[in-house]
């Protein structure tokens, strides 16, 4: 296995751990602020969109690179 492959796998694992940690932080924020169900949903929606956009960008770049570009 080449170094680039190891780095790619480590990056994907690191991003997964980072995403999980971000969702834990949002959940903890909702719990400590006693936001309720609707407030928790809004927190996950608003704060999770930034993370989702970052992950979607990485997926789009991967797809475009594997197809040789559009």
HSE, side-chain direction, 13 A CA sphere, residue 44: 15
pTM of the model: 0.67
| Distance separating alpha carbons of residues 21 and 47, to the nearest angstrom | 13
Q: What is the largest CA-CA distance in the chain?
A: 48
How many angstroms from the chain centroid is the CA of residue 60? Answer: 14
Find out whether 25 and 50 touch, Cβ atoms under 8 Å.
Answer: no
- For position 28, what pLDDT does the model report? 93
Averaged pLDDT for residues 4-14: 89
Per-residue pLDDT, averaged over 36-54, amounts to: 88
- With cut-offs at 50, 70 and 90, classify the pLDDT of residue 37: very high
pLDDT, average across residues 2-11: 89
Neighbouring residues of 23: CB distance < 8 A, sequence distance ≥ 6: 44, 48, 51
Residue 69: predicted pLDDT:
55
């Amino acid at each position: 296995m080449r170094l680039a492959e190891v780095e790619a796998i480590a990056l994907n694992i690191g991003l997964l751990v980072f995403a999980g940690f971000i969702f834990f932080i949002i959940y903890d924020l909702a719990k400590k602020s006693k936001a309720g169900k609707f407030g928790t949903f809004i927190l996950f929606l608003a704060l999770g969109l930034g993370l989702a956009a970052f992950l979607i960008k990485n997926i789009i770049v991967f797809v475009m690179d594997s197809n040789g570009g559009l």
